[in-house]
Amino acid sequence: MGRSVQKLTESVSLIASKETWVEGLAIQQLIKTSELACMQHVAGMPDLHPGRGYPIGAAFFAVNRIYPALVGNDIGCGMSLWQSSLKLSKVKLDKMANKFKQIEQPLDETWAQTIAERSQHANKRLATALLFQKLEALKQEQMNREEQQRWQQHWELQRGNPRRSFKGEKFIPLD
């Protein structure tokens, strides 16, 4: 089976065997996306393929920034990455394949709420709500700074004798 996580650059990984064919343009887009501001790490999956400017079939980790174009651009692709506590020496691919042969069957209605909570659309709505929250906070900060500046200008107005300036609570000579 070999190693499936390839380190392409310091912040770019490709989770696919060396035998997996991946388009060169998709790798270029993956590396270019890793160079975006605040981007910490990107990982291409086995189904990585080029998109319109950004790769499809990848995961992106950015700090303090949201890139809406990277969210939900491959809805329904069907790829999953599962982590297991099994030791590699204990994994028997034929037994595992047999256990998971029903995995592509439709889920029954007991899964409806889980699916709704984890849907791409729910994630996109959450990302949008968080983005609006952040924008509102930034707007409020800007308004507070402007208000503070107005008060600062008010306290620095010259009053009466041009040789004395009113600053804060008392008059201060200008010389």
| pLDDT for 175 beyond 60 | no
Distance CA 41, CA 50 (A): 18
Per-residue pLDDT tens over the stretch 148-170 = 888 877 766 655 545 555 566 66
More confident residue, 159 or 27: 27
Beta strands in the chain (DSSP E): 5-9, 12-15, 39-49, 56-62, 164-167, 170-173
Sequence length of the chain is 175
Give the model's pLDDT for residue 1: 44
Would you say the pTM of this structure is higher than 0.85?
no
| pLDDT for 171 beyond 50 | yes
Give the model's pLDDT for residue 11: 93
Kindly tell me the burial class for residue 71, based on how many C-beta atoms sit within 10 Å of its own C-beta (0-12, 13-18, 19 or more).
middle
| pLDDT for 14 beyond 80 | yes
Hey, what's the torsion of the CAs at 66, 71, 73, 75, to 10 degrees?
Answer: 180
| pLDDT for 2 beyond 60 | no
Per-residue pLDDT tens over the stretch 69-115 = 887 666 555 556 667 888 888 888 888 888 877 776 777 788 887 77
Per-residue pLDDT tens over the stretch 110-150 = 888 777 776 766 677 778 888 889 999 999 999 999 998 88
What is the rounded average pLDDT of the residues 7-27? 89
